[in-house]
Amino acid sequence: MSMDSEIFVKFLLTRRSIRKFKKDPVPIDLVKKILDIARYAPSAGNRQPWIFIAITDPEIKNKLSKIHRWAYPLEGAPIGIVVACNKDVSPDSYLVDCANAAMYIMFAAHAYGLGSVWLQTLRNIEDIQKILNLPSNYIPVAMIALGYPDESPSPKPRKELKDIAFLNTYGKTLE
Name residues contacting ligand FMN, limited to 18-57 (CB under 6 A): 19
Query: How far apart are CB 164 and ligand FMN at their closest, in Å?
Result: 15
Q: Are 60 and 127 in contact (CB under 8 A)?
A: no
Tell me the C-alpha distance between 121 and 84, whole Å. 10
Query: How far apart are CB 78 and ligand FMN at their closest, in Å?
Result: 17
Q: Which of 23, 123, 156, 172 binds ligand FMN (CB under 6 A)?
A: 156
The answer to whether 104 contacts ligand FMN (rule: CB under 6 A) is no
Q: Which is nearer to ligand FMN, 16 or 33 (CB)?
A: 16
The answer to whether 16 contacts ligand FMN (rule: CB under 6 A) is yes
Calculate ∠ Cα 36-124-39, nearest 5°: 10
The answer to whether 139 contacts ligand FMN (rule: CB under 6 A) is no
Which stretch in 38-46, 52-60, 111-119, 126-134 sits in contact with ligand FMN by CB under 6 A?
111-119
Q: Are 118 and 173 in contact (CB under 8 A)?
A: no
Name residues contacting ligand FMN, limited to 60-79 (CB under 6 A): 70-71, 73
Q: Which of 120, 151, 166, 174 binds ligand FMN (CB under 6 A)?
A: 120
The answer to whether 107 contacts ligand FMN (rule: CB under 6 A) is no
In this structure, what are the phi and psi dihedrals at residue 164, rounded to the nearest 5 degrees? -130, -10
Q: Which is nearer to ligand FMN, 19 or 87 (CB)?
A: 19
- The residues of the shown chain that bind ligand FMN, judged by CB under 6 A, are 16-17, 19, 70-71, 73, 117-120, 156
